[in-house]
Amino acid sequence: MNKLQPKSLKEELATHTDKLKELGFVNESGELTRPVVTHSESFADELDDRLKHEPEYAQVGELPEMHFLQDRAQPGEEPVYPHHGESNDIIYAVDHFFPGRKFAAAIECFAGAGHGGIKLRNSKSLKLGAPINAVDVNPRAIALARANSTINDAGIQYYQTDILRDGFRSLPDEAKKPGETLYFGNGPFALTPPNRKLEVCRHGGKDGLEMNMGFIKASLEHGSPGDAIVGVAYSRIGTAGNYEFEDRLKQLQAEGKRFTYKIELVEGAKLWRGYNGKKEQDNPMDLSMMTAKGEPGSNIYREYESMAQAYKEEGWDKLAYVRYSIEISEPVTEQATATRTEVGEVVG
């Protein structure tokens, strides 16, 4: 599969009308049944903040234009999260952690609307013709991602899979190339009150962390020494400065999983967009600020206030948006190594 060739939306639709009709995204009049967003639109969303801290991030904006159909969920349907900014973060993180490396295969978890894999197809991190396979638990996400892959000529294969239950066992053997496979994913970890899980794909707290760890465990079990895992996640930070996400990785090492890892705080990223757009916070964010998601006295204000208080009582006082890389190690006896990079400081 060659890199994507930039085409207008009209050209893409003319090429794939029959297939998109079959998938249910073009009606009998030849009109799209979903709104469209472009890569350049999604990239511009947080560009100014990010470039202040990492000028190299601009390389993501140099990808050819791509068009993505958006979800339009009906009442009772599980919505599909588009992963706009996060998919850009993934593409940047792969080259950031593994500069110059070209993977022979890629496997995506939490595919959502397909943005991540489609953008990776056109990045410089894959060998020519490298297969990309992707999974998501939501059948509506699979359908939307297939349509987006079709429009953008990405040639990605999608599978409906419960990653916590089945791992990557649904993928064909040729999906991976031992020692040359990239596993990547943007799992949910938005701190959300337990009774406000309006979108399964965005719910957070412990459930969101378990989804991220499920992806990492599945990748470690499916992968081979030399394979890489890249992702982005939220992590609570304890009063002692420990990252909850890192604590969980150390648990895996203690259980005998062999890998090295790096975790970096993503500066200039917005943790959330404030309730009704009223307030934004750079990370790391003090958990007490989460009550800014609503008017004082409102239900949402009280729910976030209660959750923040509960987390503080558990010893967590901040929240950070992080990117991470993991490289699977040979099964040797020496202790795996780790680094966490935070504001330029490397901590052993």
Q: pLDDT-based confidence at 303, cuts 50/70/90?
A: confident
Q: How high is the pLDDT of residue 95?
A: 96
pTM of the model: 0.86
338: enclosing H helix or E strand: strand 338-342
Per-residue model confidence as pLDDT tens digits over 168-208: 999 999 999 999 999 999 877 666 666 654 444 444 555 67
Mean pLDDT over 243-264 rounds to 95
Tokens found for residue 89: 């973060």
Question: For residues 26 and 146, which has the higher predicted lDDT (pLDDT)?
Answer: 146
Q: CB count, 10 Å around CB of 50?
A: 24
Q: pLDDT band at 29, cuts 50/70/90?
A: confident
Query: Rg for the chain (alpha carbons), in Å?
Result: 20
235, β-bridge pairs: 320
89-106 mean pLDDT: 96
Look over the chain and give the mean of its residue pLDDT values, rounded to a whole number: 81
Which tokens in the block code for residue 272?
A: 């959330």
Beta-sheet pairing, 132-136 with 67-69: unpaired
Is residue 113 within 8 A of residue 82, CB to CB? The reply is yes
Dihedral over Cα of 263, 182, 218, 205: its sign: positive
Give the pLDDT confidence score for residue 33 in this predicted structure.
77
Question: d(Cα 83, Cα 184) in Å, to the nearest integer?
Answer: 13
pLDDT at 306: 82
**pLDDT level of residue 235 (50, 70, 90 thresholds):** confident
Q: Using CB atoms within 10 Å of the CB of residue 273, give its burial: 0 to 12 exposed, 13 to 18 middle, 19+ buried.
A: middle
Q: What is the pLDDT of residue 84?
A: 66
pLDDT recorded at residue 200: 41
Of 39-43, 48-52, 195-199, the one with minimum mean pLDDT is 195-199
Beta bridge partners of 328: 259
| pLDDT at 290 (0 to 100) | 61
> Which domains are assigned to the chain?
1-170 (3.40.50), 187-348 (no CATH)
Count of Cβ atoms closer than 10 Å to residue 280 Cβ? 14
Answer yes or no: is pLDDT of 65 > 50: yes
- What is the mean pLDDT of the segment spanning 218-231? 97
Please say if the pLDDT value at position 276 is more than 60: no
Q: How far apart are CA 295 and CA 170, in angstroms?
A: 46
Q: Confirm if 229 and 326 have CB atoms less than 8 A apart.
A: yes
Please identify which residue in the block is written with the tokens 């029959």. 18
State the pLDDT at residue 35. Answer: 78
Give the tokens for residue 170: 């649904």
Helix (H, G, I), strand (E, B) or coil at 229: strand
111, 145 in Cβ contact below 8 A?
yes
The pLDDT-based confidence of 343 (bands split at 50, 70, 90) is: very low
Q: If pLDDT is split at 50, 70 and 90, which confidence band does 1 have?
A: very low
> Can you give the pLDDT at residue 233?
86
CA pair distance 259, 185, nearest whole angstrom: 17
Give the mean model confidence (pLDDT) for residues 61-85: 81
Vertex 44: Cα angle to 128 and 99 (nearest 5): 35
